[in-house]
A and B are shown apart, each in its own frame.
Chain A
Amino acid sequence: MPKDHGIGASSKRREDVRFLSGRGVYTDDMALHGQTYAVFVRSNVAHGRIKSINTANAAKMPGVLAIFTGEDFKDVGGNPAGWLINSRDGTPMREPKRPVLAHGKVRHVGDAYAAVIAETYNEAKDAAQQLADDSDIEELPAIVDMKKAVADASNRVHDEIPDNLCFDWGWIEDNRAAVDAAFKSAPHITTLELVNNRLVPNAMEPRSSIGEYFPGTGDYKLTTTSQNPHLTRLLVAAFVLGIPENKLTVVAPDVGGGFGSKIYHYGEEALVLAASRKLGRPVRWTAERTESFLTDAHGRDHVTKIEMASTKDGEILAIRTETLANVGAYLSNFSTATPTFLHGTLMAGPYKVPHVYVNVKTVFTNTAPVDAYRGAGRPEATFSIERIVDKMCRELNLDPFEVRRKNLIQPDQFPYTTPVGLVYDTGNYQATLDKLIELADVAGFDKRAAASKAKGKLRGMGLSTWIEACGIAPSNLVGVLGSRVGLYDAATVRVNATGNISVMTGAHSHGQGHETVFAQVVAEKLGIPESSIEIVHGDTSKIPFGMGSYGSRSLAVCGSAMSKAVDKIIAKGKKIAAHMLEASENDIVFADGKFSVAGTDKAKSFGEIAFSAYVPHNYPLETLEPGLEETAFYDPANFTYPAGAYLCEVEVDPETGKVDIASFTCADDFGHVMNPMIVEGQVHGGVGQGIGQALLENTSYDENGQLLTASYMDYAMPRADDVPFYTVDHSCITPCTHNPLGVKGCGEAGAIGSPPAVVNAVIDALHRGGHSHVKHIDMPVSPARVWSAING
């Protein structure tokens, strides 16, 4: 009988009641007395010099209260990159200032160079258009293509950066000679050039921010769509506006999805705060959908050449890659970490590959900034590795299942140190591969292929054995590697006098289901009902601190902090119980919500202990403070390493090139699972996004830097009929060895493991159909591309 409560139960998501009944409270839902509206004036050209902005006409328009331009912010700070990367020659990365509003130059279509604040939205919009009409921006040649950007020193996104390079990173530079030597003596070398297509995150709720200033106290409040309000507070306070941290509250209420795009601080947040200070009234802004397309940090956008050295029977000897990674026009907060420490460090995959060298050149272009998007660096690594393993198998006529099995790290080899700087603490990659082969009925493939053939379709199957690293840590190591922040998290567990509990978590929930899962963990540990536990998140005035939700870290890092805080509650409860039960603290055991004296029937319930802590009449006041509230910070000793095996079956219509996903099967190892239903949902969502990337989604800039895919007419999001019913399994469990819950994280896995499985399946289908000249098709594998590949 499955559990219906606590850890391991598929408790229904309590937050869904308000989401599904329209009672969620999102930033744009909040109406404030005296509120005003901000509209941004955005560049229509990708690259231009701002010659003049004449504000006179716009200022006279009805309802206009204030106008801001880049000039107003030229003396305040810029929005910084969160991670300093050094180039191979030891020089630090080039880090141009990212101003609140563009000053001097505009650098991508959508770059905001002015803002209008007015009494109503329409008045602000009209005045913003007037301001745009009264602005003289001289269009400069756009820098769009990464290869051209690096080759042409005369045309610069940032005038001070001659070759448009942010950095040229080698990982690990000291290993390079050994890797090159391995290639020189290799019996077989497989080479593949591929593109990891740029994606627009498309959170359902567009970005939205409200700035408030309280003249009486000098306090500021920013309500905003953020995945990590504390980080936003730190960036706005310490770097951009210079507001003391204790005078700024950041609240991220209900947030409708982020996928990475709401990790970062954006200029609009600083603008509404600065404007509210000037006007003494709340200033609000909500992005239109096209603004989201133009200005939310995009994902991926790598061009990679990968080489794999192997024996003739498929043993991987070395991997070498060269990647151009697009950062767009400015450095978004994690944009430098994503193509480096979240990508290069994963380039050994789940394999026993002795030699790996990764080179990443990060390039400025006149496009929207690119940063972490669901998976962040690991999908790029996984796609490169899993595509080239497949290509190697084809070139050597080897079975892709057997080649992977042969190269996978063996269960008895953990902890396993990779040549790219990670130590995988635990795993059993054979187990998930075996589980996959069983669940996907690989043995029955030929029969299904014959049925497809009878319909005139080509069936293929694609495999991906993936690994990722979640819960980036530990802080002292990432500090050495260039991180400018710590990567711990924090939680406070407050037991109220009547025994119910408020848990304040640094992790922010914007769709993940923390309010349910975190309550399950606390309920399990304290032996009390889930319903008496409330999870509070997203408000810097209520929560001790937190680094937010990204990188599948919420449960592994913040959940661990919460678990530690609960342990402190239990420890204190034992002291109170020992006093009340007149026993030694060492004899008190806590189980099923009761503190009892071992070997006796003397016991106090959790509620009685809580009450006593707040009404301390019978209480050890001389040795113990009243109250029952504990805070814990948790800094992980290592990443966690979820891993798994995915199999995709596709049917390709050779007449049209259309690819249909026939089935998709996942066998994952996420460590211990707190709520199987939520884990399954996370995998569904991740795989759905991966299928979107593999088959549909493409972000297209023309040679002038105009974004051609800036609405749902041209940007193809996956719809229900584009994805199959998934088969998802997470019964293979090797618990994380270094966090108290033994959890690994599941939020990004689907988006990481699925794209290569899809593309491998398409290539497989074409080969089985006799089109063996097709070596690779870049994503999205659209009907046009498949048809051209078949007929090319």
Chain B
Amino acid sequence: MKLTDFREIKADPATVWAALLNPDVLKECVPGCESMSGSVADGFEATVTQKVGPVKATFKGAVTFSEIVEGQSLKISGEGKGGPAGFAKGGAAVSLEPMEGGTRLSYDVEAAVGGKIAQLGSRIIDGFAKKMADEFFTRFQAAVEGPAEEEEADTAAEGEGEKKKGWFKRLMG
């Protein structure tokens, strides 16, 4: 399964880069993620629960980062074991380019499944993977950017403005 797409994010590349390497951001953005911890150098440990067609499973696995070009591109690889459900693994080559008003984030995703998920869910796996990727990057975009601008414009009180920032921005101050 291969998937290539891009997102335009209203934040500078440094902010996007930092978000990509932050386990708390990833935990919030990976659909069904229950835990994510670790460091970029040693990789993250992750637990994700997902339902693929008829198979629902909790995947425990490792996320590693490689081919890191600081602030520009990296490869994220993950492999999760889902017990009776089999396994899922994949990688995303992500690159960041500055653009007018933000960052263009391009990604090439490759995913493979094995065991029961492949045996029972193969017909839906491509659509599933696309949905997962879309959902991840949508959440990621929201996390980095915060809510849409018009909402922000409506915000009167200063205190509330803080809230309406993307939670990642909030975190970073």
Q: Which residues of A contact B (CB under 8 A)?
A: 44-45, 109, 129, 132-133, 290, 293-294, 700, 702, 704, 706-711, 713-714
Contacts and interface: CB of A to CB of B under 8 A. Distances in A.
Contact of A711 (B81, B115, B119): B119
Contacts of A44: 86-87, 114-115
Contacts of B123: 713-714
A700 B122 CA distance: 10
Contacts of A290: 116, 119-120
B114 A129 contact: no
A335 to B, nearest CB: 23
Interface in B112-132: 112-116, 118-120, 122-123
A707 B118 CA distance: 7
Nearest to A110: B119
Nearest to A142: B114
A129 B87 contact: no
Given A44-B87, A133-B83, A109 B122 contact: no
Interface of B: 81, 83-84, 86-87, 112-116, 118-120, 122-123
A481 B83 CA distance: 47
A710 B115 CA distance: 10
Contacts of A704: 112, 114
A126 to B, nearest CB: 10
A706 B118 contact: yes
B111 to A, nearest CB: 11
Nearest to B117: A706
Contacts of B83: 129, 132-133
7 contacts: A44-B87, A109-B115, A129-B83, A290-B120, A293-B119, A706-B118, A713-B120
A710 B119 contact: yes
Contacts of A714: 120, 122-123
A711 B113 CA distance: 16
A708 B86 CA distance: 13
Among all A-B residue pairs, the 8 with the closest Cβ atoms: A710-B119, A44-B115, A708-B122, A706-B118, A44-B114, A706-B114, A44-B86, A711-B120
Contacts of A133: 81, 83
A708 B112 contact: no
A700 B112 CA distance: 15
B52 to A, nearest CB: 13
Contacts of B118: 109, 702, 706-708, 710
Contacts of A711: 119-120
A109 B120 contact: no
Nearest to B120: A711
A709 B86 CA distance: 15
A443 B86 CA distance: 57
A706 B120 contact: no
Contacts of B86: 44
Contacts of B113: 706
Nearest to B116: A290
A45 B114 contact: yes
A53 to B, nearest CB: 15
Contacts of B81: 133
B119 A707 contact: yes
A489 B13 CA distance: 79
A710 B87 CA distance: 16
A44 B86 CA distance: 6
A393 B114 CA distance: 46
B95 to A, nearest CB: 26
A35 B123 CA distance: 39
A290 B116 CA distance: 9
Nearest to A708: B122
Given A44-B114, A109-B118, A702-B118, 7 more contacts: A44-B115, A129-B83, A290-B116, A706-B119, A707-B119, A709-B122, A714-B123
A129 B84 contact: yes
A294 to B, nearest CB: 7
Nearest to B85: A44
Contacts of B116: 290
Contacts of B122: 700, 702, 706, 708-709, 714
A168 B119 CA distance: 33
Contacts of B114: 44-45, 109, 704, 706
Nearest to A42: B115
B84 A294 contact: no
B119 A708 contact: yes
Given A44-B86, A129-B83, A133-B81, A710 B120 contact: yes
A704 B83 CA distance: 19
Nearest to A700: B122
Nearest to A706: B118
Contacts of A294: 119
Nearest to A43: B115
A368 to B, nearest CB: 12
Contacts of B87: 44
A706 B120 CA distance: 11
Nearest to B86: A44
Nearest to A128: B84
Nearest to B1: A702
A290 B118 CA distance: 11
Contacts of A109: 114-115, 118-119
Nearest to B119: A710
B64 to A, nearest CB: 15
A699 to B, nearest CB: 12
B141 to A, nearest CB: 31
Nearest to B123: A714
B130 to A, nearest CB: 17
B103 to A, nearest CB: 34
A132 B116 CA distance: 13
Contacts of B120: 290, 710-711, 713-714
A729 to B, nearest CB: 41
A723 to B, nearest CB: 24
B120 to A, nearest CB: 5
A240 to B, nearest CB: 28
A332 B46 CA distance: 41
A702 B111 CA distance: 12
A675 B122 CA distance: 45
A118 to B, nearest CB: 16
A779 B84 CA distance: 33
A556 B6 CA distance: 68
Contacts of B84: 129
Q: Which of B84, B112, B115 has the most CB of A within 10 A?
A: B115
B115 to A, nearest CB: 4
Contacts of A293: 119
A188 B114 CA distance: 48
Nearest to A703: B112
A704 B112 CA distance: 8
A102 to B, nearest CB: 16
A133 to B, nearest CB: 6
A605 B141 CA distance: 96
Contacts of A710: 118-120
Contacts of B115: 44, 109, 706
A144 to B, nearest CB: 13
Q: Which of B83, B84, B113, B114 has the most CB of A within 10 A?
A: B114
Contacts of A132: 83
A294 B118 CA distance: 12
A709 B121 CA distance: 9
